[in-house]
Amino acid sequence: MTQGVEHAPVEILLVEDNAGDVRLTREALREGRVVCNLNVVVDGEAALAFLRHEGPYASAPVPELILLDLNLPRKDGREVLAEIKEDPTLKRIPVVVLTTSNAEPDILQAYNLHVNCYITKPAKLDEFLSVVKSIDDFWLALVKLPPKVRP
Amino acid sequence: VIAVHADNLTRDDGPVDAPSFASAILNILDDSALETARLADTQRAILNILDDSALETARLADTQRAILNILEDVAGETARLEDTQRAVLNILEDSAQETAQLAETQRAMLNILEDVDVERKKVEQAKAAAEAVSADLSRQTQELARSNRDLEQFAYVASHDLQEPLRMVSSFTELLGRRYKGKLDAEADEFIGFAVDAAARMGSMINDLLAYARLGSGERQVGSVNCRSVLAQVLVNLEAVIEENRAQVTSDSLPTLTANETELTQLLQNLVSNAIKFRTERPPVVHVSAARVGAEWRFAVRDSGIGIAPEHMDRIFVIFQRLNPRDRYSGTGIGLAICKKIVERHGGRIWVESTCGGGSTFFFTIPEREDATR
């Protein structure tokens, strides 16, 4: 951490198996005004291991925001969401579902599992970039988040 | 006899001996007395006979009367007998007729029974045929349900799995264009341009295909639809296009009918928007009307546009078939295919009447349903 910087970069966990989307998200966050560190895992099991500091993620940071895709290998995004929201500590971390699905049952199920918000990935580049920037602006700059407690 | 004797006495023998004469007269007198007695007897006998005869005659007359009476009675009896006989004959005749009728009735009944048997066989055959058809139908229904599931699966694949890589292609070609435009050479910019355009077009086609596939899947509600309100909504939806083209859209009075409102709105919107889109240099004039023809409503959307050559009139209703260059008239070519599907889902037909350069009129029919309120 260099001198003069008031805040450490905001830690974000992106659970996404599509390398293209990972890259686009990184591009969008780079253009944003909040300095953040994007941690990426590619499946549901890895996401929970990361959050619980298990195995290779023993020294992983506690993220302040989780961007979660629904259709994931090994453990589905819905299961990951359910486990996070059942965990007394993890449930305070805001989870944004960012998925290509705009199917009503998926949306309903996500909110039933206490997702903090549900966003459908826009097909157009400009819209995608602006959506990620909006998430950045809202969740990392505007919203007051709970104090960070290491589980 | 005396006279004879006297004659004999005087003439024959001349002089008559007196004693012989007297005895002769006595003899004659005796004879005559005898004769008289015999005559009286005979007379009595005759009288007796006559008496008897009279009695006999009287008896005969009695007998005759009795016989006549009997005969009369017999005649009466005979007449009665004849009457009875006639009556009996009549009865017999009637009975014969009845018997004949009965036989006829019996024959008729047998015929009917035979007919019934034939009918029963026909019914059995029809039933067997109906069962076969029903089995066929059930197979077809299953087939249809399967094909519907396939279509839904396809819709999901089209919406999610196909769009995912497409989104990557279009996003990164766009990012490439944004970051490196003018930094490579002119050819590179051109190539990137083609890739970006094609990816965008493919995105539209996938969305259109999805909209087309979704028509006909899932729940579909049919209710009373006021076509005047539908057209009003269409004009609101197309407000920008109408203004941009300085189009004039008019309509006659439109009916209220039974349909799916969303689909009918899309149908009219596609037709009106086409009528404006395929315009000439003059501002488009569009007129929507409806007329009751038999058991259906026939709608007409008339335009003043570029028209359609007769050889293309069927092709325009096929998905992704386009007649005009993309740079002059945009669109994937899904609009009329969707219109056709909507009209056919309502049990109607759609067709076009047009002359090249003389505008087009698109017609479609919606059958009137019993439950429609007017």
CB of B308 closer than 8 Å to CB of B354: yes
Place of tokens 């004693």: B19
What residue of A is the nearest CA neighbor of B174?
Answer: A125
Instruction: Report pLDDT for A2.
Output: 43
- Measure the CA–CA gap between B53 and B49, rounded to whole angstroms: 6
Does pLDDT of A119 surpass 60? yes
Q: What is the pLDDT of residue A111?
A: 95
Torsion B114-B119-B120-B121 (CA) sign: positive
User: Chain B residue closest to A20 (CA)?
Assistant: B168
How long is chain B?
374
**Do A24 and B164 count as a contact with CB atoms less than 8 A apart?**
no
pLDDT score for A69: 93
d(CA B58, CA B69): 16
Report the amino acid identity of residue B276. Answer: I
Give strand pairing partners of A95.
A66
Question: Do residues A63 and A69 touch, judged by C-beta distance below 8 A?
Answer: no
Neighbours of A128 (CB within 10 A): 21
Residue stretches of chain B with pLDDT short of 50: 372-374
- Share of residues in chain A with pLDDT > 90 (%): 52
Tokens of B194: 């083609």
Contact B171 A121 (CB under 8 A): no
Query: What does the pLDDT look like over A65-111, one tens digit per residue?
Result: 999 999 888 888 999 999 999 999 899 999 999 988 888 889 999 99
Of the candidates B262, B234, B261, the residue with the CA atom closest to the CA atom of residue B247: B234
d(CA B330, CA B328): 6
Report the SS3 class of residue A10: strand
- d(CA A139, CA A135) in angstroms, rounded, equals 6
The whole-angstrom separation of Cα B93 and Cα B87 is 10
Give the ipTM.
0.75
Report pLDDT for B21: 82
Question: Residue range A6-25: average pLDDT?
Answer: 87
Are residues A43 and A73 in contact, defined by beta-carbon separation less than 8 angstroms?
Answer: yes
| DSSP code at position B370 | T
Q: Residue B246 class from Cβ within 10 Å (0-12 exposed, 13-18 middle, 19+ buried)? A: exposed
CB contacts, 8 Å: B164 with chain A: 18, 100
Mean pLDDT (chain A, rounded): 87
Q: Which residues pair with B224 in a beta bridge?
A: B258
CB contact under 8 A, A20 and B203: no
pLDDT, residue B7, reads 59
**Residues in chain A closer than 8 A to B172 (CB atoms):** 20
Q: Which of B167, B178, B208, B219 to mutate to test the interface with A (most CBs of A within 10 A)?
A: B167
List chain A residues with CB under 8 Å of B167.
20, 100, 121, 123
Is the torsion defined by CA of B125, B129, B135, B137 positive or negative?
Answer: negative
Q: What is the pLDDT of residue A12?
A: 93
Q: What is the CA radius of gyration of chain A?
A: 15
* pLDDT of amino acid B358: 82
What pLDDT is recorded for position A57? Answer: 93
Q: How far is CA B234 from CA B97, B242, B354, in A?
A: 82, 11, 23
The pLDDT of residue A144 is 84
Q: How far apart are CA A148 and CA A65, in angstroms?
A: 11
